[in-house]
Homo-oligomer: A and B are copies of this chain.
Amino acid sequence: MSGMAGPPRLIVLLTDFGLKDHYVGVMKGVILSVNPEAHLIDLSHDIGSQDILEAYFLLSNSYRYFPPGTIFVAIVDPGVGTDRAILAVETNRYFFLAPNNGLLGFLEKEAGVRRIVHVQETRFFLSPVSNTFHGRDIFAPVAGHLSLGVDLGEFGPALKRMDTLEAPSPRVTREGSLVGEIVSIDHFGNLVTNIPAVQLPAAGPLEIRVGKSSIRELSPSYGSGPKGKLLALLGSSGTLEISVSQGSAARKTAAQVGDKVRVIHRPK
């Protein structure tokens, strides 16, 4: 049975729960209790605690690589137990479940949102519902039922729109340089910026500044140049990345998420 032939059955989990506790495992147990045929994939469970923006970037860079019909369950939820809504969203190709806190905001910019539903129908929830673990009590059973082919409209009333968040985007200065920022630092210590490839100067000399470091060219790959050299290159998310050949740019530059990165075209 392919993902296309029957109801969707691939469920992708993204949380800030970590893997030490039973939280993620128990969610899987609940999903499989509803649909023993569900196919569960972990995207990440190491989002910083309550860091909605980190989850936003990670999911927005990932979802396109999954097959049509995939159900994404994204839980970074500082408001669990309060009156924040839980959303179920259907796009042209995918389903998403998340708290209504901006985490799914990237969907608005990208075409294809068909329906937004406020998940309210308690007959799909575990009973009783705790105030502290909606992942187990609401998200998991709803994902399970969605994967069985239950129509989105069954879970609650339609919403016109969802909350978004102000994801940082690069700006152009009066002098014509481009100022973006580091939006994540990966496992290798690569500094991932929000400066898209298409905004970089197509030709001519350039200078890239991060902290006290300066880089004068774009390199083709992580392995370019001698060990320890600071490099700028186009990363796999389509944005400018700062890297160190066979090393960690985070360690070499001591940069942090939120630090500015400046691209100067035709520097003097």
A residues touching B (Cβ–Cβ < 8 Å)?
1-4, 10, 12, 17-23, 25-26, 28-30, 32-33, 36-37, 39-46, 49-50, 58-59, 61-62, 65-67, 70, 78-82, 130-133, 136-137, 184, 186-188, 220-224, 233-236, 241, 246, 248
Contact = CB atoms under 8 A, between A and B. Distances in A.
A53 to B, nearest CB: 14
Contact of A80 (B39, B66, B223): B223
Contact of A78 (B17, B21, B223): B223
A26 B81 contact: no
Given A21-B186, A25-B41, A187-B20, A80 B221 contact: yes
By secondary structure, the A interface counts as loop
Given A19-B19, A22-B58, A65 B29 contact: yes
A19 B36 contact: no
A42 B248 CA distance: 25
Given A22-B43, A22-B62, A80-B222, 20 more contacts: A3-B32, A3-B36, A12-B25, A18-B188, A20-B187, A23-B186, A25-B41, A25-B42, A26-B43, A29-B67, A32-B39, A36-B67, A49-B187, A49-B248, A78-B222, A130-B235, A131-B221, A132-B221, A132-B234, A136-B236
